[in-house]
Amino acid sequence: MVLAMMGIITGIYALDASGRGGKASASKVERQNREKARYYYLEGLRHQVEGRHAEAYENFKHANRIDPAFPEAAYSFAQLRLANSVDTLTSRAELARSLTLMRPYVDNFPEDYDEVIYYGYVAARLDSLQESIRVYERTDSLLPMRTATLLHLSDVYFAAREDEKGLAALDRYEKIEGKSPNLTLKKISYLINRSDTAAALREVTSLVESNPREPAYLLLKGNLFQLTENRDSVEAYFKKAEEIAPGYGAAKLALADFYRQEGDSAAYDAKTYEALLAEDFGLEEKSALLSEYLQKLIYDKSNTKRGDYLFSVLETQYPFEPEVLDLAARYSAAKGDFAKAIEKIGYAIDLDLDNDVYWGQKMSYLISDDRWKEAVATYDEAVKHVDPGMGLRMLCASAAQIGEDYELAIKMYGELINQLAPLAKPTGKLELADIPKQISLDGLEQISNLYTTIGDCSYNSGKLEQAFQSYENALLLDPENAMALNNYAYFMVENGGDIVKAADLSKRSLSGENEDNPTFLDTYAWILYKQGKYEEAVGYQKRAIEKSEGSASESSELWDHYGDMLLATGDKKGAVEAWKKALDLTEDKKAITKKINENK
């Protein structure tokens, strides 16, 4: 934002009796500093107008440092400090300092409306509500014709719990500008927060009476009755809005939602159908409406034939719109028909080749349909048309990993690492110096997770040393990476590695939200078993099974391990029962059947 005073900057530093820079007693050094500050300030304005904000920031900063009493420079410097996302400038103390820097300008030029309003907004965001109220009240007094001030003032009054003043400000605004649905809605929201539904109802009734033939006002009143759970009045006002304006899509949409809440599926479908035909709804609104409707069908596990019929309405209206084809693909995928989803999203891509989201959708559907090679081929085609971001690369890497093309998977995961840390080696030992100093905590966690996945791929491809180094890399960046800790520990003990180190790694994985993770519990119990700590192992494995039963985590391996542990404690009967459970959860029954037969 460039100061509104830009056009009279020269006058600010004129040597007159009105300005702080015009006193004849000013020393030569002071005058020189003022001229220097003015130069840097004007340079800052030039850079700001030309869109070079970093350069503008440095010039404003320099001007403020040379002459801290120059309010325009201080204000502009503070504005860019607030826009800067550097952590050191976004602390509570530094944000408050920016506000302090802005205040002299606001008090010297109280009629510079945009800057004062912005200052008041910043003050309110920093919970300096009384300061925000002070400048807004002054602006309201000095510039009464700027009625928008009353809306800002009402917001901070309400935030400061001065509700009566807030409502009075809105009333004044309404008397000047007239009634409007948005204003009434604003007043109603505050009244409802005060649990004053009677006053809220009076407000909306007054709005309706101002124009009884306006359907939007009737809908607003119906919505208010929804809050008071007066169902009969809700339907009556929605229907009245529809009668006044038969083609008004919003009324049909309101009725559709009302019937959905009432559980009247036939009426809900009928009104949704009518809303889809409403001419005042565009493609965006209709897509959103149908998307919500279809999601409810899928979530409620309802008969999707109802959705198929309504979807055909939209497809008939917009047969060649990529958005509709994308929605058709999503709907088909939600129903489990991935072949249809792939076909539909393919048509959308043909119409919009530069849409990377559509390419990602197609890859996701192909992966879900176990067609990983085609997913990789789709990626290769996509990069001819779009710049592949992390999402597309991740999908390609996942497809390759699922298809056991570990070499390609590692290559793609490596590219993802290099997007975040260009100097980092995807394989081999990682040095902290290879990681950018300015990287965020989220970025470190992302890279750590990518190294974990490279470790998994390396292990599955028989590259044990490379796998272990990848886990070390992951833990270097995030020592609490539970998946890296667990996988490293399990593979280490399974391959005759340092069992004490494996136990320590595994134990560390069982913390916080992962303390009851069945997979991690199984790993730790298995290591205890390998150490000969059979009773302790049984305790952890029993917990793993309890936490996994009936969930996706329940597996044959959990029960198989449990059987081995029980047998080691002398509980042969319990071991056989555990192996029988394992048998039910696997297709590879030979090894477990042998154990059962040997211990009957």
pLDDT in tens, 94-137: 888 989 999 999 999 999 999 999 999 999 988 899 999 999 99
Q: Tell me what the mean pLDDT of segment 465-469 comes to.
A: 96
Cβ-contact 460, 487 below 8 angstroms: no
Predicted confidence (pLDDT) at residue 21 exceeds the cutoff of 50? no
Portion of the chain with pLDDT greater than 90, in percent: 51
Cβ-contact 33, 67 below 8 angstroms: yes
Sorted by where each begins, the domain ranges of the chain are: 179-245, 505-600
Q: Tell me what the mean pLDDT of segment 42-66 comes to.
A: 90
Q: Residue 449: its pLDDT value, please?
A: 96
Look up residue 49 and give its two tokens.
């107008």
Of 484, 554, 568, the closest CA to residue 526 belongs to: 568
Give the separation between CA 219 and CA 223, rounded to whole angstroms.
6
Q: Tell me what the mean pLDDT of segment 485-494 comes to.
A: 95
Give the separation between CA 309 and CA 312, rounded to whole angstroms.
5
Predicted confidence (pLDDT) at residue 183 exceeds the cutoff of 90? no
Rounded to the nearest integer, the mean pLDDT of the chain is 88
Give the separation between CA 70 and CA 35, rounded to whole angstroms.
11
Q: Name the residue with higher pLDDT: 568 or 198.
A: 568
Residue whose structure tokens are 């007054």:
206
Who's near 232: CB < 8 A, 6+ residues apart? none
Poorest-pLDDT segment among 227-231, 328-332, 543-547: 227-231
Predicted confidence (pLDDT) at residue 533 exceeds the cutoff of 60? yes
Helix and strand numbers, DSSP H then E, in the chain: 32, 0
Poorest-pLDDT segment among 15-24, 301-310, 398-407, 577-586: 15-24
Poorest-pLDDT segment among 9-13, 110-114, 255-259: 9-13
Identify the top-confidence range among 83-97, 183-197, 243-257, 479-493. Answer: 479-493
Per DSSP, helices labelled H in 249-383 are 249-262, 265-277, 283-299, 305-317, 322-334, 338-351, 356-368, 372-382
Q: Can 179-245 and 505-600 be said to share one CATH topology?
A: yes
Give the separation between CA 67 and CA 60, rounded to whole angstroms.
11
Per-residue pLDDT tens for 377-429?
999 999 999 999 999 999 999 999 999 999 999 999 999 999 999 999 999 99
Name the pLDDT band for 231 (thresholds 50, 70, 90). Answer: confident
Give the separation between CA 457 and CA 404, rounded to whole angstroms.
8
Portion of the chain with pLDDT greater than 70, in percent: 94
Sign of the CA dihedral with 218 first, then 224, 226, and 228 last:
negative
Q: Which CATH architecture has domain 505-600?
A: Alpha Horseshoe (1.25)
Q: Residue 300: its pLDDT value, please?
A: 67
Q: Residue 539: its pLDDT value, please?
A: 94
Name the pLDDT band for 347 (thresholds 50, 70, 90). Answer: very high
Q: Residue 86: its pLDDT value, please?
A: 63
Q: Tell me what the mean pLDDT of segment 581-588 comes to.
A: 86
Q: Residue 15: its pLDDT value, please?
A: 33
Predicted confidence (pLDDT) at residue 228 exceeds the cutoff of 80? no
CA distances from 433 to 13, 410, 425, 452, 517 (A): 50, 22, 11, 20, 34
The residue type of 108 is N
Would you put residue 127 in left (φ > 0), alpha (ψ -120 to 50) or beta? left
Per-residue pLDDT tens for 274-291?
888 888 778 888 887 788
Q: What is the CATH number of domain 179-245?
A: 1.25.40.10
Look up residue 530 and give its two tokens.
């390998």
Q: Tell me what the mean pLDDT of segment 199-222 comes to.
A: 86
Q: Residue 133: its pLDDT value, please?
A: 94
**pTM for the model:** 0.63
DSSP class of 3: -
Q: Residue 266: its pLDDT value, please?
A: 86
Name the pLDDT band for 26 (thresholds 50, 70, 90). Answer: low
Predicted confidence (pLDDT) at residue 1 exceeds the cutoff of 70? no
